[in-house]
Amino acid sequence: MIQYLAKSTCASGKSDCRRTFPRHLLHRITTLAISAFAALFAQTLYAPSLKAESSNRPNIIIIVADDLGYGDLGCYGQQVIQTPRLDRMAREGTRFTQFYAGNTVCAPSRCVLMTGMHMGHAQVRGNAGSNQLERQSLRDRDVTVAEVLKERGYHNGLVGKWGLGEVGLEGHPLRQGFDFFYGYLNQVHAHNYFPEYVWRNLSQEKLRNVVQGTGKQDPHFDFTPGAATVRIDYTPDLFANEALQFISEHQQEPFFLFLAVTAPHANNEGTRLTGDGAEVLDFGQYGSETWPNPDKGQAALISQLDGHVGELLDHLQVLGIAEKTLVFFTSDNGPHNESNHNLDRFHPSGPLRGIKRSLYEGGIRVPAIAWMPGTVIAGGVTDHIAYAGDFLVTAAEIAGATPPQNTDSISFFPSLIGESSKQAQHEFLYWEFYEQGSRQAVRFGRWKAIRQPMLTGKVELFDLESDLSESHNLAADHPDVVAQGVAWMEQAYEAHPNWVVPVTK
């Protein structure tokens, strides 16, 4: 194991991409040992159909919704918006009740997902400004899940929203292990459901929409931030069709598909222009409701997403590859309030406190459903505490690949197949956020500690087993637990020159 830790190059062939000896050596060695043992055990005992050396290496699909809340799906308690296909996916698969996004906004959350590194070690820790796109780009030495799977012969496709590197930057998806890309590179571009173009690999593919700008064209963008006045080509439908085509074209080989949909994120520029940022072709089943249009649009976005997931699952069944394809559905952070829709109508955070940009549970605890007929437990519900970064190690395990040694993640594969007694546990999960004066949080066991501002602020402490809504701050009653939470924060945080903690007065 020590020999393995001393490697100087990563599985992708990139140089200088791993720390030789991480700061907290014992913890990292333990995590690595558990992951390596779990991978070997899974290949020999758990599911023979997943053996890495066979020609039937499983396909892997991850579908990431954008700003979908913990309470936005029927299987998580939603009472108004209809999500029959995701509810069925949960009945046929395993649903997580304590799954967390990598962060509370888009870009850093996706960085965690791709690299398996939590916010204290990740390269992208926030949404950077348009004149600082390099800050929001992965580096060549960052190792992504796509690169890990490519080593095992996977053909990798990304459809939808990237946000981790533009053309000419090291973080472009075609430089991060993906063989194919169709969608948005820039997350502001991704606000618009009816843009002027989308990217196909390195080329712009023109669409028939006409976009009205906000009047403040950013010189760093080659697109018009705004809202369409002529709406023809609707990207959620384009992405759904492209995903099905990718699956059909690569059904005979192991493939990895990252379907990064934009629903139900608001078009923020559309909200400013028209007062309604929930852009849809039509309101569908909600058209006859007496609600304001932003509410109808918000509900329609989620139900349309639900339908697209159902189409994908059906497509796998028709092709006869459902039993050899793991599909994992989740969200990049908690729900937004940016399209002028009424949060009180839908209760998108469910029983949780907070929304997007909060480090309370509503900002970071998200839906997560795994589906693979014959392998993933049907009707399963797991309370295993996991987060988006764990997807990399889980995908590596079932593909028989070697994950990067310095991840902050563990595989949740045992929880998918009903082997909870063999499931490794995190000592803690960690988040940090640089907007709104900054904040950081840590989850350890039943406890959740939040410090605002980062590094110097007061600490709130919550017992999530008895107080899921984080209504009662117990910091004064448990100074020893607060001290442990602070210790985890200080262990997790490593300063980064691109992400400076704002000075508060």
pLDDT at 14: 54
pLDDT of res. 504: 73
Model confidence band, residue 55 (pLDDT cutoffs 50, 70, 90): low
Residue written as tokens 């795994």? 370
Could you read off the pLDDT of 359-413 as tens digits, one per residue?
999 999 999 999 999 999 999 999 999 999 999 999 999 999 999 988 999 999 9
pTM for this prediction = 0.91
Q: How far does Cα 171 stand from its chain's mean position?
A: 17
User: What pLDDT, on the 0 to 100 scale, is given for residue 503?
Assistant: 83
Judge whether residue 133 has pLDDT over 50.
yes
Q: What pLDDT shows up at residue 505?
A: 65
Tell whether the model's pLDDT for residue 7 goes beyond 50. Answer: no
Rg of the chain on CA atoms, in Å: 21
Q: How confident is the model at residue 302 (pLDDT cuts 50, 70, 90)?
A: very high
Query: How does 410-440 read in b/e, with b if 16+ C-beta sit within 10 Å?
Result: bbbbbbbbebeebbbebebbbbbbbeeebbb
451: which residues sit within 8 A by CB, 6+ positions away? 439, 440, 441, 457, 458, 459, 460, 486, 489
pLDDT score of 233 more than 50:
yes
d(CA 293, CA 279): 10
* Residues with Cβ within 8 Å of residue 465, at least 6 apart in sequence: 446
Are 110 and 163 a contacting pair, CB within 8 Å?
A: yes
- Three-state secondary-structure class, residue 155: strand
pLDDT, residue 125, reads 98
Q: How many CB atoms lie within 10 A of CB 4?
A: 12
Q: What is the reported pLDDT for 217?
A: 83
Per-residue model confidence as pLDDT tens digits over 339-369: 999 999 999 999 999 999 999 999 999 999 9
Predicted local distance difference test score (pLDDT) of residue 204: 98
* Three-state secondary structure call for residue 463: strand
Q: At how many degrees (to 10) do helices 106-115 and 390-399 cross?
A: 30
DSSP string, 239-305: HHHHHHHHHHHTTTS-EEEEEE--TT---HHHHHHHS-----S--GGGTTS-S-HHHHHHHHHHHHH
466-477 mean pLDDT: 98
Q: How many CB atoms lie within 10 A of CB 5?
A: 17
Q: Are 397 and 38 in contact (CB under 8 A)?
A: yes
CA distance 502 to 125: 13
Burial class (CB in 10 A: 0-12, 13-18, 19+), 21: middle
Separation CA 445–CA 442 (nearest Å): 10
Tell me what the mean pLDDT of segment 240-249 comes to.
98
